[in-house]
Amino acid sequence: MRSAVVTGSSSGIGKAIAARLLDDGWRVAGLDLAPAGIEHERLTSTRVDLGDRTVRRPIIESIETTDALVHAAGIMRGAKLGALDHTAGDLLWRIHVDAAMALADWLAPRMPVGGRIVLIGSRAAKGVVGKSQYGAAKAALVALGRSWAKELITKGITVNVVAPAATETAMLSDRNAPSSRLRRRRSAATSSPRRSRRWLLSCSRPMLTQSQVRRLPFAAGLRSDRSEMRTI
């Protein structure tokens, strides 16, 4: 039976991905600060603060092997120049980027041939007013993904970075998120976690190109035989 580690599995995109994997017969190890949002015999949920290096290390290192890693955990913080919160910026980096490095550093050497790594990016990586710190963290995932894809190609392990548009999740409604106008428009302009998970589980193209895939059925990383960066 195939297994996957999914961070942020208690809500939003991470929860949708975990649910899809379970539906497809995978065994899922969910890592999240919040309690499990799914009950299933093949789901093992561990509550952990991925932004805390000391706390997360023994939990990550307790995972002996996995066929796939999906790093979907994340938070939204933002402000314009003159009001940047550097503590928030550090937290964004630790959860989005540093946790991804810790997970991949431990799990990639233990993945079998055909392993999959999927990092959830964001269109904010291209630059959004009031989201420079969040966008910087997400842009860093693209650099990580491109580098890891090149390192792991000889092992038959793919690395995909999926960059959704605004998706209707709890994070979008976070009171600390900077864009209330975006929240007011979300019913007409956002994707859904269900649509996102379809994309994430059926991709078959490489990470070294960028594509607008709004017109495609949310393809993606876990069934891909190549590595890719996708903007949705």
Phi-psi map region of 114: left, alpha, beta (phi>0 left; psi -120 to 50 alpha) = left
Q: How many residues does the chain have?
A: 232
Contact indicator for 92, 134 with CB cutoff of 8 Å: yes
Cα separation of 169 and 43, whole Å?
21
Contact indicator for 169, 76 with CB cutoff of 8 Å: no
Cα separation of 68 and 48, whole Å?
19
Cα separation of 189 and 184, whole Å?
10
Q: Tens place of pLDDT for every residue, the chain, 232 residues?
A: 999 999 999 988 999 999 999 999 999 999 999 998 899 999 999 999 999 999 999 999 999 999 999 999 999 999 999 999 999 999 999 999 999 999 999 999 999 999 999 999 999 889 989 999 999 999 999 999 999 999 999 999 999 999 876 666 555 555 555 444 444 443 333 445 555 455 454 443 333 222 332 233 333 556 666 666 555 4
Cα separation of 175 and 181, whole Å?
13
At 42, the amino acid letter reads R
As to burial, measured by CB atoms within 10 angstroms (0-12 exposed, 13-18 middle, 19+ buried), residue 40 is middle
Cα separation of 183 and 198, whole Å?
23
- Judge whether 79 counts as a catalytic residue: no
Cα of 111 vs its chain's centroid, Å: 18
173 Cβ neighbours under 8 A, 6+ residues apart:
183
Q: Which domains does the chain show, CATH number per domain?
A: 3-163 (3.40.50.720)
Cα separation of 96 and 94, whole Å?
6
Which pLDDT score is estimated for 105? 98
134, 148, 199, 218: the catalytic one is: 134
Which pLDDT score is estimated for 114? 94
Per the DSSP assignment, residues forming a β-bridge with 44 are: 29
N-to-C CA span, the chain: 30
**Integer CA distances (angstroms), 76 to 101, 190, 201, in order:** 19, 16, 24
